[in-house]
Amino acid sequence: MRRILLVLTLLVALLAMPAAAFAQDAPSQPPVPCGDLSDDDCTLLQDSRTASQEITSYDATMDFAFALTDVPSLPSDISFGIVSDGSFAFDPEFMAQALEFQARMQDTEVDPASMMEETMAMGLGFYENASFDITLDIALSQQVAALLSQQAGVAIPETLNLPLRLVDGFFYANLDDLAQVVPGLSGWIGFDIVGFLDATMEQSLSTLEDGMSEMDPATMGAMMGGSMGANPEMQAAVEANTQVERLDDTTVGDVEVAQFLHTFDLGGFLADPAVIDMIVQQVQAQAAMQAEMGQDVPMTDADVQMVADMLPMLAPMLLSGLQWATVNTIGLDDLFVYTTETNVEWDLGSLINMAGAMLGEGSTPAVSGSPYFALNVAAENSNINGDVTIEAPEGAMIVPLDQMLEGADSSM
């Protein structure tokens, strides 16, 4: 039961991300990347971001597909897919508070310790004020199912159906299909996810505050700086490595939409001096925190700087075969995002060969087949700001909070 609880808790965090995506950016953030778009098209993108902040409910389907093939020392076919179909709802007052919080994060003079505490409180508030009712259909490749079965010691099926809900701070899962994995499981089971996170976050915050109290202000500022709002230099790096093109208008259902293609140069982004500087500051700040808390530090400042000096040359070379493209459709009347599809494809052959050459002959197995990485995420939204009613499942068995906390403590 403990393992199942931890897995389900992780699913809550993962599933919250697409739901939270509609509460995108605070009004004071810099403009969205527009590339060479016309002024009118750029304004449409920025107005769409503003419109997204007013969304409090919607239905959504998502198709997530991951594949990693022919990589040396790994199974030849590591692939899985998740299809979700569900509804989401948010408390309007909380969403307004979230936007205000994001705006405050722009203030570089804010106290890092208090900001960290407020960040955790806002995260907890999300689970208290958001609801969803979704069904996941999970499909694993034969090799992935066999690998997981070997590690788990039980037979993991290649397909699973998992209904999930979040209502009033409680997370529910229907375990009927998991009976294939653990016989005897059935029906709905519920967890006080807000109570669980509140207790565990309080302990984590106390530990972080103890560590931060021993830090000098410069270290704390560097550690928090990467997450504080919009850094103009970082925004410039994103815009410089993003190309945006308006495609032909089309329809989604009966809604007329504009299509925008975004392509991102990850290699160029990682080679940007501002990005490298941020990475160095974050890694060094983390190392300083570990050292001041008496923990082992895996990399010295010299190691970090050596990697940073190599990034401008290595990042474009290592990522030259990576293609990253996203197409969004935006309603011409209401400016809501109706579909988003992201495709990341990466021919890994040259990367693996280069790694072998850099590490020395025989350090990496020879490439055979066509080493390849692919990620596709396609989402479609509907019933935006429509009627969405999400209720707790009847007859659900509620796991006592003290048992959840006891299980978490014993797993650490």
Which tens digit of pLDDT belongs to each residue from 337-368?
A: 999 999 999 988 777 776 666 655 555 555 55
pLDDT digits (tens, 9 = 90+) for 45-60: 999 998 988 899 999 9
The pLDDT of 39-43, averaged and rounded, is 95
Residue 14 has pLDDT above 60, yes or no: no
The total of other beta-carbon atoms located within 10 Å of residue 194's CB is 20
Which secondary-structure segment (H or E) carries 81?
A: strand 77-90
Residue/partner pairs of 267-271 with CB below 8 Å, 24 or more apart: 267/315, 267/316, 267/317, 267/318, 267/319, 267/320, 267/322, 268/240, 268/241, 268/315, 268/316, 269/237, 269/238, 269/241, 270/311, 270/315, 270/319, 271/311, 271/312, 271/313, 271/315, 271/316
More confident residue, 38 or 401: 38
Say which amino acid occupies 134.
I
**Alpha-carbon 372 to chain mean position:** 22
What per-residue confidence (pLDDT) applies to 180?
83
Instruction: Report which of residues 346 and 225 the model is more confident about.
Output: 346
The tokens describing 311, both together, are: 């990034």
More confident: 342 or 7: 342
Q: pLDDT band for 105, please (50, 70, 90 cuts).
A: low
Give the per-residue pLDDT at 411: 53
Mean pLDDT estimate for the chain: 80
How confident is the model at residue 20, as a pLDDT?
39
Among residues 196, 209, 132, which one has the least CA distance to residue 163?
132
CB 70 within 8 A of CB 116: no
Q: Is the pLDDT score of 145 beyond 60?
A: yes
- pLDDT at 132 > cutoff 90: yes
- Asked whether the predicted pLDDT for residue 290 surpasses 90, the reply is no
Nearest CA to 241 out of 309, 315, 351 is that of 315
Q: Measuring CA to CA, how many Å separate 146 from each of 37, 77, 86, 155, 308?
A: 48, 11, 29, 8, 39
Three-class secondary structure of residue 77 per DSSP = strand
375 C-beta neighbours (distance < 10 Å), count: 15
Mean pLDDT to the nearest integer, 165-186: 89
Lowest mean pLDDT among 9-18, 326-335, 351-360: 9-18
Low-confidence winner among 73-77, 157-161, 216-220, 249-253 (lowest mean pLDDT): 216-220
pLDDT range class, residue 202, cuts 50, 70, 90: low
**pLDDT at residue 179, rounded to an integer:** 85
Residues 6+ apart with CB under 8 A from 118: 101
pLDDT at 120 over 60: yes
Boundaries of domain holding 220? 2-411
Reported confidence tier of residue 190, pLDDT bands at 50, 70, 90 = very high
Higher pLDDT, 210 or 79: 79
Q: Which two tokens stand for residue 140?
A: 């694993």
Is the pLDDT score of 124 beyond 70?
A: yes
Name, in order, each residue with C-beta under 8 angstroms of 352's C-beta and a sequence gap of 6 or more.
Answer: 71, 72, 364, 367, 371
Q: Which of 228-237, 258-267, 311-320, 382-391 has the lowest mean pLDDT?
A: 228-237
- 3-class DSSP state of 392: coil
Tokens 């897995």 appear where? 7
Please give the average per-residue pLDDT across 267-272, as a whole number: 88
For residue 114, what is the domain's CATH number? Answer: 2.50.20.20
For the segment 8-24, the average pLDDT, to the nearest whole number, is 40
Higher-pLDDT residue of 179 and 158 is 158
Q: Say which DSSP state 364 is in.
A: S
Q: Which residues contact 223 (CB under 8 A, 6 or more apart)?
A: 112, 215, 282, 285, 286, 289
Structure pTM? 0.78
Q: Which of 237, 206, 226 is nearest to 286 (CA)?
A: 226
Q: Give the model confidence (pLDDT) of 226-241 as tens digits.
A: 443 456 787 888 888 9
How many domains does the chain fold into? 1
- Predicted local distance difference test score (pLDDT) of residue 339: 97
Predicted pLDDT at 102: 73
Q: Is the pLDDT of residue 171 over 60?
A: yes
Q: What six digits make up the tokens of 332?
A: 């011409």
Q: Is the pLDDT of residue 294 over 50?
A: yes
